[in-house]
Every structure is written in structure tokens, then in C-alpha cells.
Amino acid sequence: MDSEHVIYIMIIICVLFLFLSIFGNAFKSIARIALRSIAGTTAIIAANYALASTGFFIGVNLFTALTIGILGIPGFFALYAAGLILK
């Protein structure tokens, strides 16, 4: 490898480290919200299955997934409370 290539690779690595140090927390937050949304959607599906005999269910869509992803467990209970109030 040429010394030019080594210098370019070092510059690219430094820029990547800089990028990750600046935007690392944003990526962590987005990943945390995505994982909580997936877990919340699974919880809604399980609760809908458990409450099927009552005829009460919460729809699974982007809004409900993001509500649970951002608020967590209180968001889950808020969705069901809103569903009971609006029923």
C-alpha cells in the first residue's frame, strides 16, 4: 500500500470516530425507541389476544408503536385507558 492510501485510511477512520462521537447518542436513542416499539407492539398483540373474549382491542399501527416506544410502559397503559374511555 502506498503511503497516500494509509493517510487516506487514517483520515477516514478519524472522520468516522468524530461522526460517531457527535451522533452516537442520537443513534442510541433511536435504537432504544425502536426496540421499545417492537416490545410494545408485541405486548399489544398479546393483550389483544388475551382480551379477545371481551371484544376490546387496541389497533397495532405506527402511532401506537411510537407511543409505546417513546413513553414505555406508561404509554401502554395510556393507550388502553384511552381505549376504555373512548369505547
Q: Give the CA distances from residue 20 to residues 11, 34, 35, 73, in Å, rounded to whole numbers and listed in that order.
A: 14, 19, 20, 30
Over residues 25-57, the pLDDT tens digits come to: 777 888 889 999 999 999 999 999 999 888 888
Q: How far is Cα 16 from Cα 39, in angstroms, rounded to an integer?
A: 31
> What are the start-end ranges of the H helices in 1-87?
3-50, 62-71, 73-86
Confidence at 1, pLDDT banded by 50, 70, 90 = low
Residue 71, C-beta contacts closer than 8 angstroms, at least 6 positions apart: 78
pTM above 0.85, yes or no: no
